[in-house]
Structure 1
Amino acid sequence: MGPTAWKLLGTAAAVAAGSVANKVVSGVWEKAAGKPAPNDPLNTDDVSWKEALLFAALSGLVIQLTRVAAQRKAAQMYQKRAGHLPKAIADRI
């Protein structure tokens, strides 16, 4: 496995995790707030500052946590299959 395989695997893991995290955040928001998640936090008619900032903070936190977890798992899978960490990661350590 080479650098291209890692780029594809790492990117796919991050994109999939971001998509799942977005759905989770929206679901949690709907249950907690009792209304749909803001689909456009910049819409000042429907979304207050408090809601926009809270939704942004929650989204950012959950999406980054899931991306890190997914990319770590992808690196573990790569290492198990290739016998070494991806070069992009090994060079940083």
Structure 2
Amino acid sequence: MASGSKVWTLFGLAATVGATMVARKAMTATWKLSTGKEPPSNPEHPDVSMAEAATWAVASGVAVGLARMLATRKAASYYRRSTGHLPANLEDVSV
């Protein structure tokens, strides 16, 4: 079981890192398309308007969070098909 746990850890990590990178690129492209300018590189900077900083933080946070969740679900589904069971950290779910 320990080797399966390590496989899941690496598999899940790769899925979430990949999803995060794709989501950030998509959000940057969407921001450029909708506003005509680059997204704020540092939303905490006082010269960035509060509305722009908050909009970027919410939009990018939601996009990255959803992408990571979807990637982890897909990876867990593949893991279950490959091994016959879910990873240990996903086994106990109250539905």
Report percent identity of matched pairs. Answer: 40
- Give the distance between the partners of 2:46 and 2:37, measured in 1 at CA: 16
* Structure-1-length-normalised TM-score: 0.92
Gaps of 5+ in 2: none
CA-to-partner distance for each residue in 1:22-56, whole Å, 9 max, x for gaps?
011111001111101111111222x2110000000
Aligned residues: 92
Which runs of structure 2 are paired with 1:1-93 in the superposition (5 Å)?
A: 2-45=4-47, 47-93=48-94
Opposite residue 78 of structure 1, the aligned amino acid is Y
- Give the distance between the partners of 2:24 and 2:34, measured in 1 at CA: 15
The structure showing larger relative contact order (alpha-carbon pairs under 8 Å, at least 6 residues apart) is: 1
| Secondary structure class of the residue paired with 2:68 | helix
Query: Which portions of structure 1, spanning 4 or more consecutive aligned residues, are displaced by more than 2 angstroms?
Result: none
- Give the distance between the partners of 2:45 and 2:31, measured in 1 at CA: 17
